[in-house]
Amino acid sequence: MKTIFRRLLVLSFCLFGTAGVGAETGVTTDRIVIGQTGVFTGPVAEPALQYRAGAQFYFDEINAKGGIAGRKIKLVSYDDKFNPKLAAENTKKLLEEDKVFALFGYIGTGATAASIPQINSHRIPVVGVLSGSDGLRDSKLNMLFHTRASYGAETGKMVEQLTTTGVKSIAVVYQDDPFGKAGLKSAQGAFSRYGIQPVIEAPIDMGKLDALASTTEQIAKTHPGAIIMITAGKASSAFIRAYLKTGERPQFFGVSVLSAKALLADLGADAHGIVIAQVVPSPFRSSYPISKEFVAAAKKANSKDITYNSLEGYISAKVFVEALRRAGKDLTRGKLIASLESMNNYDLGGFVVDYSGGKHVGSTYVDLSIISKSGQFLH
């Protein structure tokens, strides 16, 4: 009887003991499951698709080498169609059904904001949000670890450049959605810092991209020397195409989520001269080790997704993996958070991420690039 009892005890330990001791949600002996929601279909999907592709380049590289402490990374992505309500539902599914270990690469201001209550209640970290919203950078949102500069930093750089060159008649056009409104608020802050006001602030109805004439005519009446666009995807090219019909050609400035790839495809030669804020180094400049590494990874994957957005995804993935390494073999969410918060001036190869001193905005890097006649970028 005692022998049978001992055998049952050993069997129960084998079945349940190793799984229960030190086990963490989303972590097994050979896998780490992480989750993402984003806009992967529709007129503003291009930056999100590129971002996810770049991240997957790095995860694939790591997995091919055996993963982290023998665990391969699995990214579960859901399309929220740019709908914050659906994004919140996707987050609930990731947390309660997929039981992910961490969240990664959330796409968009609205999607992230709608998911904050669940993120906070589960105390689950989110690494690399594709949004520059200053509101998402509130110090109280301590589960978010940003790898990019804010829209405030981007628009500040634009206003600085324009005022330095004598351009003070500046219009702002923005998508009438959470992303656009967040960017507008950031731009207003930038204007305030320089003591000027935009000549007009005009919203774009995302459901009426083929009927922008009244909006563009209203803006054209103010004769701006430059227009700052808080837009993404098809909204950007639709607005520029409609505005050029007014006969005016101001300087167009776009925030970093504006897809140059989509602009070139939609506008052709009319894309020449458009200025885009960039929050990562140029993927086409081999003088940056991170860019050289990224391009090699893209070519290895036989991908043509060599863009600023895909490099940003690659960088975010690299930050996340470095945090996993530092967290150690006995992985927990608490250890991951601690390893992120202790990340001090982590140099990825010419691009530095720093969360020391309680910061959760790891980078303030902003550069302005201009689309040349050949479709290349000038800095």
CATH number assigned to the domain covering 151-278: 3.40.50.2300
Domain range summary for the chain, segments of one domain joined by +: 12-149+287-365, 151-278
Report the C-alpha gap between 169 and 285 in whole angstroms: 33
The single residue listed with the structure tokens 């972590």 is 27
Same fold, 12-149+287-365 and 151-278: yes
Query: What's residue 374's pLDDT?
Result: 62
Residue 372: per-residue pLDDT: 78
Which residue from 174, 273, 274 is spatially nearest to 219, judged by alpha carbons? 174
Closest to 73 in 3D by CA, of 105, 34, 36: 34
Tens of pLDDT, residue by residue, the chain (379 residues): 444 434 433 444 343 333 334 479 999 999 999 999 999 999 889 999 999 999 999 999 999 999 999 999 999 999 999 999 999 999 999 999 999 999 999 999 999 999 999 999 999 999 999 999 999 999 999 999 999 999 999 999 999 999 999 999 999 999 999 999 999 999 999 999 999 999 999 999 988 999 999 999 999 999 999 999 999 888 899 999 999 999 999 999 999 988 777 788 889 889 999 999 999 999 989 899 999 999 999 999 999 889 999 999 999 999 999 999 999 999 999 999 999 999 999 999 999 999 999 999 999 999 999 987 665 666 5
Per-residue model confidence (pLDDT) at position 125: 98
User: How confident is the model at residue 360, as a pLDDT?
Assistant: 97
Q: What angle do CA 112, 185, 283 make, to 5 degrees?
A: 65
| pLDDT attached to residue 28 | 96
Q: What is the pLDDT of residue 375?
A: 57
Fold observed for domain 12-149+287-365? Rossmann fold (3.40.50)
